[in-house]
Structure 1
Amino acid sequence: MPPEATVVRVEFEGPEISIYVRNPAVVLEKPEIVKRIAKTIKKRIVIRTDPSIRKDKERAKKIVTEMVPPEAGIKEIIFDDALGEMIIKAKKPGLVIGKGGTLLRTLLIKTGWRPVVERAPPIESKFIPQILHHLVEESPYRVRVLRDIGQRIHRPVIFKSNYVRITALGGFMEVGRSAILVETAESKVLLDLGINAGATSPINAYPRLDIPEFVIEELDAVVITHAHLDHCGFLPYLFKYGYNGPVYTTKATRDLMILLQLDFLEISRREGKVLPYTQKEVKKLISHVIPLDYEEVTDIAPDIRLTLYNAGHILGSAMAHLHIGEGLHNIIYTSDFKYENTRLLEKANDRFPRVETLIMESTYGDEELPPREEAERQLISLVKRTAERGGKVLIPVFAVGRGQEILLVLIDAMESGKLPKIPIYIEGMIDEATAIHTTYPELLSDKLRERIYRDENPFTADYVYIVESRETRTDIVEYDEPLIIMATSGMLTGGPAVDYLRLLAPDPKNTLIFVSYQVEGTLGRKIKDGAREISYIDKDGRLEVIKINMEVHSVEGFSGHSDRRQLLRFLQRMTPKPQRIILNHGERSKILALANAIRRRFAIEVYTPHILDSIRLA
């Protein structure tokens, strides 16, 4: 580093090394300096400014507004004192960044604050600003956390003789509570930590953290692949019992994960269920999340590097690539993935630098789903038929992914005349999750991304209504015209969809349409398999039994999971080919059927472990 840059201090901050300087212009005018340092020490480098050169906040704001074109549409500027960052929220981030980042560099030099640009979405999220302000308020704590994490990541490797082992803690021979412990002689990393919404007992609801190999104090990192609760719903539990390490995921997954965990707590409270953690732990974990971009290589332990790749499942979903040791072993954990383009997302990545072991989902291991176009036609036909007889349609959906996909299909059908423009009512965090989708257009399909860049909002229409209060549910159901209700949860494990079901089920004019996978043990699965009565405890404590006279249909082609054909096609096209495959995230019959198909077609070693099984990989 040139002496004239005036380096004040160098700090480990998570996986990055931060260099604090008094004269950033010297470094910014010669970017090859930082690149050379990063290449030499094989670490990510961040240049930060010493507090002594940072302009007063009002002065810094004035400089930004004077230098950035008004067309950028700056909505807010927030200052993070601990990290010396100036977060600029703008409708057109490119105009703040400037060609080749020139304007960003100028802003840093002129203000002394490191500018971080975020997109102001077309649908205003109420939730993302809360996360951002929480991070700023907790910034001193977050800096301490990052420095502790940095020291742990960059500690000397003690055990030169290495091994790699995985242990199945949840989500093997079942769907739900996904959790995998990856161990080397030096490190321990968790891949996902979810819950099983359909379980009837705690021993089957949560991952098996009660084994000798799992010690919270020895855990180096947690990697969360996406925001569905069967992959992240148990994460706050770790923080309740002393975990102070990092959580690696995409920024979109961070936002959606926190949203769904808090919603899960609120629904559980209303339904009288007790969870093993509280809001306090959910809020604490926010400061421990280290967001990563796709294909960004990151040290997460002394001997493990992580890279996330697009999984095509839901917004921000990722496949995790672990590079262990100096070429000792490489693991790809697909988690949930979709190997097909959808209206919402591009298909999953299939090219990786190296891989010896592939851990792959098997949700539809023995099923071939109908093409997406056929699924859309079937959905439109069912809605049209119900509307023509004056009935109402209930579509239970996940707040994230399926909710947005189905909304796009319905709006498109109504705008093109395939469906009459009947009211669509949305309830259960779907609207907030949709706002988060518009915050990250770079993660959406090419077509959607371009529409958002043109300031269009593909998720709204004047016949789409957000249900703000549960008190209005009865009024909606008693409305004497056809309508559509989209509500959570997608498996009828709780939430407003269950209330709507009770109100709509007795009337044969109405229709229930499942568009998501229904896990064994859930109410959705029972109804899908033929149950025509539901019982529940009413507000007076009495047992009520309701007959399901409404039509029940399942439209399979909208799944965010790859079906058997897509799973095998992924293996066919994946580069390079793995030496072994480990199957998880599927019911026993589906896993075994897929394993046999893979052995016949590819002659690759396939493992089908049970929960608590361990496999040595190297």
Structure 2
Amino acid sequence: MVIEDILEGLKKKIEKNLPAGTTISNVEFEGPQLVVYTEEPRKFADNGNIVRTLAKSLRTRIVVRPDPKVLLAPEESIDLINQTVPEDSGVTNYDFAPDVGEVIIEAEKPGLVIGKHGETLREITKKVGWTPKVVRTPPIKSRTVKNIREFMKKNHSDRKDILKTIGRKIHRECTSKDQWVRLTSLGGCREVGRSCFLLSTPESKIMIDCGVNVGSDDDMTPYLYIPEVQPLNQIDAVVITHAHLDHQGLVPLLYKYGYDGPIYCTHPTRDLMVLLELDFIDVAAKDGKRIPYESADVRNALKHSIVLEYEEVTDIAPDIKLTFHNAGHIIGSAVSHFHIGDGLHNVVITGDFKYGPTRLFNPAVNKFPRVETVITESTYGASNSMQPALKDAEKNLQRIIKETIDRQGVVLIPAFAVGRSQEVMIVIEEAIRKGIIDEVPVYLDGMIWEATAIHATYPEYLNNDLRRLIFQKGQNPFLSECFKPVDSNELRRNIIENPHPCVILSTSGMMSGGPVMEYFKAFAPNERNTLVFVGYQADGTLGRRIQKGWKEIPLSSGGKGSETVLMNMDVEIVDGFSGHSDRKQLMEFFKRMKPQPERVFTEHGDERSCIDLASSIHKRKKIETRALTNLETIRLV
């Protein structure tokens, strides 16, 4: 059956289920959604159950769009919308897209624009005809969020064509009589970095993650040249679990070499991906390395992105449905559940996850409707990989900062821009607010402030406590006056040349470059200062050398030879802020998983960690387990 016949059949089914007197003019697939066009959008808005009933009966996501001829003029629409939404909703901007009949409303309090159970949105549609979509006005100005929104607006027409093509591929008929499911490991097995998998059926090919190993020149990229993957344009979809480079850093490369399909991820993952990819190629170019792709490839990938919410079941291929669940690792990180065929098999790929409380996120989800196979990360899978309790880590950090400030010193914290920095910021902000630490400036250098702005834009992805603080009490800790972004070389020079009691969070996390090195050179000789490591320092990095006790640190001076920095400042290691589950949490994740899987495969850890975790789960659960190796294909069904 051709796609036009499928659409015609769906149109007839919809018309048959509509209330008397309600009509539609056309139906079309756009990405995973079935778009229903009508000249009577007000009737659909009057009865909120119509769309829910249709979606349930057709088992697909449905969006109703007005026929362009029934839309009010934008100026008149704005007046009516302003009369409809509460005054304190803080509407800051309107964007109208006539080709899809949507008005994007940017507001400081999106919940007030949406209304209880979407009542205000339906009221807007009844008055103006346009379909309203609401986005949050970033409370911290973010270049990334602003540029992405403007780019999406400018490319609305192109995106509509892209989504139409994707939609027709997703909803094509299944043609094969065979039923099988295979998983091919392309990177990230018995190692950390370049995570990449291919999930295959007779009908579909889905790539999960496509990362880069930034710390290795030899094993930098996944095995994208093998026959299972080529040609790239035969892949149906790319699913990204979260925004760290070792899981998504080579996605734009796929578009450079022929892939033209969708990328599925959450909203924060999409925005952080763009930020980190552009920084990745910028740093590579400055270091004189060959960049794997251009900024145009990043934009092309962005144009093909489809964002999904947690718990939203979505068709991504004719025989595969995807559902994202909170992974608790970084903002927007997702445990990915794949439902294959008509109940044939269910695969969960955890990505990186944290099955424990943090200052930012709720623990990772491990309850699913069905699951037979799990592919899990094993970063801390070894039997001796235990992390201190978070409360102990917080008290330890607060003590170190207090002692350093009391002796008029500077606290320097090298940190990754996404995740760890924001966790530490919350702890410091609370300590200052409660008077545990004196009120000193907390400087944020590198990409940390921009990444924090993205966190502030999507507070609905934060944990219950933070959401309550932000939405009910109106207190956003990220907006605290103690935080000072270092947004110029002059300010950085001023901090260095006029040392005063303060805390500095700066990239890079392993001291492999970035602005942290300027602060380190300036503050390392003074014994009143303290260097605090809150993250893992890999072998061979400067951070690891300092942890080993080096007292004279040779550093290059930008092409002018080298200099030796005398290391007199205190060095402290504060474990417990990791975004990964430790060994105990990993075992608990599987102990409490519902339903219990039939098999578990381990990846994303060194060889010992992957093997140890697989062995322990097998002994505990008496199920099939294995530490995957790169380049193997396993049949799941």
TM-score (norm. length: structure 2):
0.93
Compute the displacement of 1:509 (Å): 3.4
Q: Does 1:230 align with 2:246?
A: yes
Give the stretch that moved more between structures: 568-577 or 593-602.
Answer: 593-602
- Kept after mapping to 1: 8 A contact 2:511/2:543: yes
Gaps of 5+ in 1: none
Partner of 1:510: 529
- Kept after mapping to 1: 8 A contact 2:281/2:292: no
Partner of 2:82: 65
Partner of 1:80: 97
Partner of 1:457: 476
Partner of 2:401: 383
Compute the displacement of 1:373 (Å): 0.8
Residues 183 and 389 (structure 1), Cα distance of their counterparts in 2 relative to 1, 3 Å cut: same
Q: Per-residue displacement from partner, 1:112-170 (whole Å, max 9, x unpaired)?
A: 21100122243333331221111110000000110110011111112221211111111
Partner of 1:256: 272
Gaps of 5+ in 2: 1-14
Partner of 2:300: 284
Question: What SS class does the counterpart of residue 330 from structure 2 fall into?
Answer: coil
Partner of 2:453: 435
Aligned match for 1:207, one of 209, 222, 235? 222
Give the stretch that moved more between structures: 305-314 or 389-398.
Answer: 389-398
Aligned match for 1:181, one of 175, 178, 198? 198
CA distance in 2, matches of 1:548, 1:610: 41
Partner of 1:374: 392
Compute the displacement of 1:209 (Å): 0.8
**What pairs with 1:142-153 in structure 2 (closer than 5 Å)?**
142-153=159-170
Compute the displacement of 1:592 (Å): 2.1
- Kept after mapping to 2: 8 A contact 1:164/1:617: yes
What is the aligned-residue identity percentage?
Answer: 46
Aligned match for 1:334, one of 350, 367, 388? 350
Aligned match for 1:51, one of 48, 59, 68? 68
- Kept after mapping to 2: 8 A contact 1:253/1:315: yes
Partner of 2:148: 131
RMSD after superposition: 1.9
Compute the displacement of 1:286 (Å): 1.4
CA distance in 1, matches of 2:343, 2:549: 52
Q: Per-residue displacement from partner, 1:318-337 (whole Å, max 9, x unpaired)?
A: 10001111112111111111
CA distance in 1, matches of 2:439, 2:154: 45
Compute the displacement of 1:552 (Å): 2.7
Give the stretch that moved more between structures: 454-463 or 436-445.
Answer: 454-463
Compute the displacement of 1:4 (Å): 4.3
Aligned match for 1:270, one of 271, 286, 294? 286
- Kept after mapping to 2: 8 A contact 1:145/1:288: yes
CA distance in 2, matches of 1:47, 1:506: 65
Residues 414 and 106 (structure 1), Cα distance of their counterparts in 2 relative to 1, 3 Å cut: closer
CA distance in 2, matches of 1:253, 1:205: 22
Q: Per-residue displacement from partner, 1:163-208 (whole Å, max 9, x unpaired)?
A: 1111111111111111111111211111111111221x1x411212
CA distance in 1, matches of 2:371, 2:555: 49
- Kept after mapping to 2: 8 A contact 1:96/1:117: yes
CA distance in 1, matches of 2:293, 2:434: 47
Residues 83 and 500 (structure 1), Cα distance of their counterparts in 2 relative to 1, 3 Å cut: farther
CA distance in 2, matches of 1:414, 1:342: 19
Partner of 1:14: 31
Q: Per-residue displacement from partner, 1:47-75 (whole Å, max 9, x unpaired)?
A: 00111112221121111112222121111
Compute the displacement of 1:382 (Å): 2.0
Partner of 2:465: 447
CA distance in 2, matches of 1:530, 1:195: 31
Partner of 2:636: 617
Compute the displacement of 1:293 (Å): 0.7
Partner of 2:363: 347
Question: What SS class does the counterpart of residue 189 from structure 2 fall into?
Answer: coil
CA distance in 2, matches of 1:583, 1:208: 18
Question: What SS class does the counterpart of residue 610 from structure 2 fall into?
Answer: helix
One-letter amino acid of the structure 2 residue matched with residue 329 of structure 1: H
Residues 498 and 188 (structure 1), Cα distance of their counterparts in 2 relative to 1, 3 Å cut: farther
Question: What SS class does the counterpart of residue 424 from structure 2 fall into?
Answer: helix
Partner of 1:38: 55
CA distance in 2, matches of 1:67, 1:390: 55
Q: Per-residue displacement from partner, 1:256-283 (whole Å, max 9, x unpaired)?
A: 2212222223333333333201211111
Q: Does 1:425 align with 2:440?
A: no
Q: Per-residue displacement from partner, 1:54-97 (whole Å, max 9, x unpaired)?
A: 22211211111122221211111112233221111112223222
